[in-house]
A and B are shown apart, each in its own frame.
Chain A
């Protein structure tokens, strides 16, 4: 690592730059919100004024030696509605998370290429057209976008002035060109990205993903290398500095837990013609992440059946660092999955992952891929209590289960009415078609589908396997006894619970008895969601991710027929149950590739834990690569491996002060272990204990 980067990295770890942050009291934020209310402004103008408020308050800070500038000094962003107003809005609308645009992927490519002045011209043209049509609302929106451009240019100008004063002519010249004009060099393009991404966060939008960085940035890198503006070392140094920039303000970004910030970067995969597009920049990104060991950006690697094993090796090397990434996704499965839900081929081939794992389309997708989650465990629980006593055989019982799943899905989606999100003028600028149509992205995009996570799939499969085996085949327990045991949390039934928990067939052991049930369950889910439409004309996308629902969904749930006691968590993501010790990773990847994952197209990775000792030498790194490749060859959709050391985690839990930089994968993202709540720390330790 270059010494300049080493210092910069250390400074970010030490959080030195936090000293530049302004103190902004809650009353200042509140007063701003109240002033918006008093001016009786419509929401689009409120959102626009908020961005102006934030960017005007920003004080340029150029850290010593920094070549890519912009960092937050305004630590908090005001609301645009008072609490009362927000409560009123909530009454009439479904609000997803914070009610702001999030978890989508911008088209950075175009704006970086043409510059903001060109975008301004496009907006002015559109204003002419839409005012001629009498589209007042459209014109208001377009003017808000123009304002956002003004705000960004003003900030860039102030940074430029500050650079000039402090003798940083290089930064001055850089910012006098971009963002007004398009980028020509790699450096300009990186700085341009930083400005756009920074502004998204400053707008209050969050889970602002990075997308296919190696694709849209490659031409700048290549030009510079070809023309000699950069050499391999200087290019790599710039890239590393760019990576560090993602970690400067990330503690300010909203998320469930520290680290859950959605800065996911996607590398590799096919281009729009279907050819493998892994390039020099993809490789450099993997190497930069390997060297820096930072949680941002979060690396995703798209693979195809043609991906050479050497590329997997780069991934395995990165896995070895224990960051919990790369997360792999398989183009051979994901792209057909997207096509089956109506995505155009060109768009499907351009897929990226949202904050965690959901497959979305940059520039076009206004999908809400995590709008809700189906609790498979709950569906099984309801079905057992309602249908088990009357079912004459297992197939008959599964028909009852299907009815219950249908009802549950219908109830879930019936609440998703009048979805409202705050308008997002600047975000709209980076989404295709918003300027031409004069419509904010919060209204709709090209794709407006909703994703449904699937929680506790293994818990459900294991429970059904126990039902099939003991109630229907062995007939060693009656339906009534089973229901009683589950309702009473196995009170006085330890022996029976042990049998369910330890002796019954389990998903993850390459046992067709359990796995066939998984196949059936994961056929029913997409079949039922296939018939559903949302209010925006979009479809529902079934997925295998759990996010934090594996924990949330147990709250109102009884014990389950897999021997899980009440209150114990469900299986996380697409993985074996937390309390099951499986035979090994080969059985796991075989079990979890049996369902048709093309149909479970929202995403949600299989998570594997491997001891860190596996990664000791290059020979073994190659073996891990083959393990990953095998899962993909067998039809797996998405995979993520944790390299773990149990003793270290336990020690870290008790001595957090010694493990400030210990990074672990949580559900769809990596975070610092010691910053997690205890319940998540414990689950991670439990997962490791059961790993092989």
Chain B
């Protein structure tokens, strides 16, 4: 099965136990305004340019045969500083597994494995399942927004050792406003996850003024406090660099919230309910 990814990170330390390789699936149905991986939004290959060091020599323009970018890669080759790249690489699941399994002893010895992130991994379900099958004996974790059809979600849960699932907002209207989609499906899947025997962590990106309220945290607790295999809640405070990559893929960063506002980190709400919490 074929799919598209945009990066492999080799020593991911924040995404599950032990030493992990982290593979990013390309393409996401959500449009979170704070997304810090804008190159993971589109399902297609796209040109990515690092403008900071560009001297404006103009060779990229000289070689460009198209009026609109087709990600043909001609300008990539000519850039003397290689500030351009084609973001997005298509893989057969078999080949990707082979690449990820390189050095698997290191991953095994440290109690680590592979974490599949994105983008949204569940948006390429056949590719995802094929890949997970081929990653044995490694521990596989999937990081997801939970926005997927229940059968896809449930199958993923049954196949993985660890799920890292986001709860971005408990309020449907706010969820829709800041991520572009309704959270009904997500909450339904979360319910399943809470009942399942698969270990999972809940991740909450803390966005100032959007979801860092006490009320939202308390609502979140209500959703997960009876979960069977919840390992912990991980809070990821928004940080200023999130907008850095938008111009690189020709997008505008329009967060729709006050970037300079201080984030509220409400550990106590979870601690009070005996839920282990850590700030990443």
Contact = CB atoms under 8 A, between A and B. Distances in A.
Contacts of B79: 498
A22 interface: no
Contacts of A627: 11, 19, 106, 110
Given A494-B80, A501-B82, A590-B103, A623 B18 contact: yes
Binding site of A, secondary structure by majority: helix, strand, loop or mixed? helix
B10 A585 contact: yes
A210 B238 CA distance: 47
A692 B109 contact: no
Interface string A589-619: 1100000000000000000001000100101
Interface string B1-45: 000000011110110011101000000000000000000000000
A620 interface: yes
B278 interface: yes
A498 B77 contact: yes
Contacts of A494: 59, 78, 80
Contacts of B78: 494-495, 498
Given A623-B19, A627-B19, A584 B10 contact: yes
B190 to A, nearest CB: 25
B103 A510 contact: yes
Contacts of B278: 617
B68 interface: no
Interface string B54-91: 00000100000000000000000111101000000000
A583 B10 contact: yes
A586 B19 contact: yes
A473 B205 CA distance: 50
Nearest to A588: B10
Nearest to A502: B82
A630 interface: yes
Interface in A106-130: none
B102 interface: yes
A355 to B, nearest CB: 30
B13 A692 contact: no
A633 interface: yes
Given A587-B103, A590-B102, A630-B110, A614 B11 contact: yes
A387 B18 CA distance: 48
Contacts of A16: none
A499 interface: yes
A170 to B, nearest CB: 49
A614 B20 CA distance: 13
Contact of A583 (B8, B14, B59, B106): B8
B77 A692 contact: no
A626 interface: yes
Contacts of B13: 614, 619-620, 623
A586 B21 CA distance: 9
B80 A498 contact: yes
Contacts of B18: 623, 626
A678 to B, nearest CB: 19
Pick the most buried of B10, B13, B14: most chain A CB atoms within 10 A of its CB: B13
B106 A630 contact: yes
B233 to A, nearest CB: 15
Interface residues of A, number: 28
Contacts of A499: 77
Contacts of B14: 620
Interface string A476-510: 00000000000000000011011101100000001
Contacts of A587: 10, 102-103
Nearest to B11: A585
A619 B13 CA distance: 9
Interface residues of B, number: 24
Contacts of B59: 494
Contacts of A589: 106
B82 A626 contact: no
A498 B74 CA distance: 12
Contacts of B112: 623, 626
Contacts of B11: 584-586, 610, 614, 623, 627, 692
Nearest to B106: A630
Nearest to B110: A626
A626 B21 CA distance: 14
Contacts of A583: 8, 10
Max chain B C-beta neighbours (<10 A), residue from A495, A586, A614: A586
A633 B78 CA distance: 41
Nearest to B8: A583
Nearest to A582: B10
Contacts of A498: 77-80, 82
Nearest to A490: B80
A626 B106 contact: yes
Nearest to B80: A494
A630 B109 CA distance: 8
A216 to B, nearest CB: 34
Contacts of B21: 586
A493 to B, nearest CB: 11
A491 to B, nearest CB: 13
Nearest to A633: B109
Contacts of A501: 82
A494 B75 CA distance: 13
A626 B102 contact: no
A320 to B, nearest CB: 12
Contacts of A585: 10-11
Interface string A568-591: 000000000000000111110110
A622 B14 CA distance: 12
Interface string A143-184: 000000000000000000000000000000000000000000
A590 B10 CA distance: 12
Interface string B95-126: 00000001101100110100000000000000
Contacts of A633: 105, 109
A692 B13 CA distance: 12
Interface in A362-406: none
A92 to B, nearest CB: 51
A614 B14 CA distance: 8
Contact of A495 (B77, B109, B110): B77
Interface in A605-664: 610, 614, 617, 619-620, 622-623, 626-627, 629-630, 633
Contacts of B10: 583-587, 692
A587 B13 CA distance: 16
Which one of A614, A623, A630 has the highest number of Cβ atoms from chain B below 10 Å of its Cβ?
A: A623
A586 B110 contact: no
A587 B19 CA distance: 13
B268 to A, nearest CB: 19
Interface string B238-280: 0000000000000000000000000000000000000000100
A626 B19 contact: yes
A583 B11 CA distance: 10
Contacts of A617: 278
A633 B105 CA distance: 10
B8 A586 contact: no
Contacts of B9: 584, 692
Interface string A267-291: 0000000000000000000000000
A627 B17 CA distance: 14
Nearest to A511: B102
Contacts of A502: 82
B25 to A, nearest CB: 18
Nearest to B14: A620
A633 B8 CA distance: 24
Interface in A674-692: 692
10 contacts: A494-B78, A499-B77, A584-B10, A586-B102, A586-B103, A610-B11, A614-B13, A623-B11, A626-B18, A626-B110
Given A495-B77, A502-B82, A622-B110, 8 more contacts: A497-B80, A584-B9, A584-B11, A586-B103, A587-B102, A589-B106, A623-B110, A626-B109
Nearest 4 pairs of A and B residues by beta carbon: A584-B10, A626-B110, A630-B106, A586-B10
Interface of B: 8-11, 13-14, 17-19, 21, 59, 77-80, 82, 102-103, 105-106, 109-110, 112, 278
